């Protein structure tokens, strides 16, 4: 993939005055934008599949805001599979352009991950604070900033009154942080997007320098080890499922990294496939009992040049060998699998629009990259929609970390770029 080549000529560029007015308007409203983001982040929207309250209250807040601003909102309620909540709501709103047969959608998500260990936070993760130009809260970076930036852009495009080449819309989706089954998969199956539509999803990079057009495969697995529970003072009488489970996870960590070691500089930061030991279930409730059942989870992010079927087959073969070596039974459960879709072509219209528009705001050149994480962009590509991921972030993202934050400077930059993109058509 090549870095951005500056388009020749000025015929496809909006006037400098229009870009100036967009920037002026958004900067003028910066305090209102900051206050709105803080108000939204006070609403706990941890995904209900992860034990949180879900998106409903945040969706209610955002729908009320949009309708108060005069926008018509299409609310789509996806059924839930878990006990908490009644639905997973997603919101759509748009303004019309000359060509009403297609829409440029800016897609972000309303749900967040849990806060993790609260003692690692310097403030309550659901009571945002603003300090040194940064807003600290769970969801500030992932994905509050792009969500608010998209709303600011939509309002600016309506208020500035310039004719748009096509419809411009905002899609605020549910369930992105888990498996998107009640989010973007459901919405695509309900035909909420059209094949001619242009799609931009979250995909932040430092100062907006990268435009993502591809993503890795994703696989989440659960490894349940069965041993024999006994008193800790007689370990030889039992079979320590916890100890064996740790050995198995470490073995897979080592062997998978060795076997799938190919690098790809297109996937900028994490050049190789990653296989990470993450969560584990509680086993026994006391210290002096050797557990008979133990469960450990792993997160795989695999370069698209590898087959996911081959990775799973290798894991099964290692498990079979380790079962024999440790005289135990190991269950493999696939929690989530999302194969990387085909990369968006560099010549796709949405790629060219973002390549042209972003440098006009950021004053930085851009390059096309693959993304180590995974977004709903991968689902769009799976369904045959060319899309890009773009956004601004700090040099090191704080998404999913304690003391997650986002800077107002980058949020305003995103809003300006989102506002500018249609005028480069």
Q: What CA–CA distance (Å, rounded) separates 392 from 394?
A: 7
Q: What CA–CA distance (Å, rounded) separates 361 from 19?
A: 8
Is residue 350 domain-shared with residue 375, that is, in the same domain?
Answer: yes
Give 164's DSSP letter: P
> In the prediction, which pLDDT does 14 show?
81
Taking the CA atoms of 105, 110, 116 and 117 in sequence, report the sign of the dihedral they define.
Answer: positive
Is residue 284 domain-shared with residue 191, that is, in the same domain?
Answer: no
Is residue 116 domain-shared with residue 165, that is, in the same domain?
Answer: yes
Is residue 136 domain-shared with residue 76, that is, in the same domain?
Answer: yes
> In the prediction, which pLDDT does 266 show?
84
Is residue 272 domain-shared with residue 399, that is, in the same domain?
Answer: no
Is 111 marked active-site? yes
Q: CATH number, domain at 32?
A: 3.40.630.10
Is residue 330 domain-shared with residue 276, that is, in the same domain?
Answer: yes
Question: Collapsing DSSP states into helix, strand and coil, what is residue 227?
Answer: coil
Is residue 191 domain-shared with residue 221, that is, in the same domain?
Answer: no
**Alpha-carbon distance values, 252 to 35, 260, 274, 282, 296 (Å):** 46, 11, 11, 21, 12
Is residue 83 domain-shared with residue 228, that is, in the same domain?
Answer: no
Do residues 227 and 244 make contact, with C-beta atoms less than 8 angstroms apart?
A: yes
Q: Would residue 129 be called left, alpha or beta, if left means φ above 0 and alpha means ψ between -120 and 50 degrees?
A: beta
Which one of 176, 197, 215, 294 is the catalytic residue?
176
Is residue 69 domain-shared with residue 182, that is, in the same domain?
Answer: yes
Specify the number of domains making up the chain: 2
User: Exposed/middle/buried for 282, CB within 10 Å: 0-12, 13-18, 19+?
Assistant: exposed
Is residue 45 domain-shared with residue 177, that is, in the same domain?
Answer: yes
Is 176 marked active-site? yes
Is residue 174 domain-shared with residue 242, that is, in the same domain?
Answer: no
Task: Please list the pLDDT of the chain residue by residue as tens digits (425 residues).
Answer: 333 333 333 445 788 999 999 999 999 999 999 999 999 999 999 999 999 999 999 999 999 999 999 999 999 999 887 655 578 999 999 999 999 999 999 999 999 999 999 999 999 999 999 999 999 999 999 999 999 999 999 999 999 999 999 999 999 999 999 989 999 999 999 999 999 999 999 887 888 999 999 999 999 999 999 999 999 999 999 999 999 999 999 999 999 999 999 998 888 666 899 999 999 999 999 999 999 999 999 999 999 889 999 999 999 999 999 999 999 999 999 999 988 888 999 999 999 999 999 999 999 999 999 987 789 998 999 899 999 999 998 767 899 999 999 999 999 999 999 999 999 99
> In the prediction, which pLDDT does 84 show?
56
Question: Collapsing DSSP states into helix, strand and coil, what is residue 331?
Answer: strand
Q: Which of 183, 80, 168, 73 is CA-nearest to residue 420?
A: 168
Q: What CA–CA distance (Å, rounded) separates 279 from 295?
A: 9
Token pair for 13: 């560029």
What is the span of the domain harbouring residue 234?
A: 217-338
Which one of 55, 111, 142, 414 is the catalytic residue?
111
> In the prediction, which pLDDT does 80 show?
80
Select from 338, 362, 387 the last residue of a domain: 338
Q: Are strands 210-215 and 367-371 parallel, antiparallel or unpaired?
A: parallel
Token pair for 109: 């998500």
Is residue 175 domain-shared with residue 315, that is, in the same domain?
Answer: no
Query: How is the chain split among helix, strand and coil, in percent rounded to 5?
Result: 35, 30, 35
Q: CATH number, domain at 302?
A: 3.30.70.360
């Amino acid at each position: 993939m090549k870095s951005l080549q500056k388009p020749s000529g000025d015929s496809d560029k909006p006037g400098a005055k229009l870009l100036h007015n967009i920037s002026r308007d958004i900067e003028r409203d910066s305090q209102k934008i900051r206050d709105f983001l803080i108000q939204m982040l006070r609403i706990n929207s941890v995904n209900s599949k992860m034990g949180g309250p879900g998106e409903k209250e945040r969706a209610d807040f955002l729908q009320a805001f949009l309708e108060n601003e005069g926008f018509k909102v299409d609310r789509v309620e996806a059924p839930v599979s878990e006990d908490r909540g009644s639905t997973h709501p997603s919101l759509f709103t748009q303004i019309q352009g000359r060509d009403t047969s297609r829409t440029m959608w800016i897609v972000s998500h309303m749900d967040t991950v849990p806060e993790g260990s609260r003692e690692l936070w310097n403030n309550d993760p659901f009571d945002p604070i603003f300090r040194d130009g940064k807003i600290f809260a769970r969801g500030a970076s992932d994905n509050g900033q792009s969500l608010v930036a998209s709303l600011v852009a939509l309002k600016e495009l309506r208020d500035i009154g310039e004719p748009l080449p096509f419809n411009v819309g905002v899609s605020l989706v549910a369930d992105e942080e888990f498996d998107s089954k009640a989010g973007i998969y459901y919405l695509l199956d309900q035909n909420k997007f059209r094949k001619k539509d242009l799609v931009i999803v979250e995909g932040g990079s430092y100062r907006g320098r990268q435009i993502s057009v591809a993503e890795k495969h994703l696989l989440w697995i659960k490894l349940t080890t069965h041993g024999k529970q006994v008193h800790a003072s007689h370990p030889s009488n039992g079979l320590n499922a916890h100890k064996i489970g740790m050995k198995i996870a470490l073995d897979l960590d080592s062997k998978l990294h060795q076997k799938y070691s190919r690098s790809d500089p297109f996937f900028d930061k994490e050049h190789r496939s990653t296989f990470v030991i993450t969560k584990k279930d509680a086993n026994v409730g006391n210290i002096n009992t050797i557990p008979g059942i133990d469960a450990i989870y792993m997160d795989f992010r695999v370069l698209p040049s590898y087959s996911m079927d081959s990775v799973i087959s290798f894991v099964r073969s290692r498990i079979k060998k380790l079962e024999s070596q440790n005289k135990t039974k190991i269950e493999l459960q696939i929690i989530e699998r999302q194969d990387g879709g085909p990369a968006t072509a560099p010549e796709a219209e949405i790629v060219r629009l973002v390549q042209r528009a972003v440098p006009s705001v950021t004053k930085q050149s851009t390059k096309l990259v693959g993304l180590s994480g995974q977004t709903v962009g991968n689902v769009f590509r799976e369904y045959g929609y060319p899309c890009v991921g773009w956004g601004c972030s700090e040099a090191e993202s704080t998404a999913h970390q304690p003391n997650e934050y986002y800077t107002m400077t980058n949020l305003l930059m995103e809003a300006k770029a989102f506002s500018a993109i249609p005028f480069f058509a």
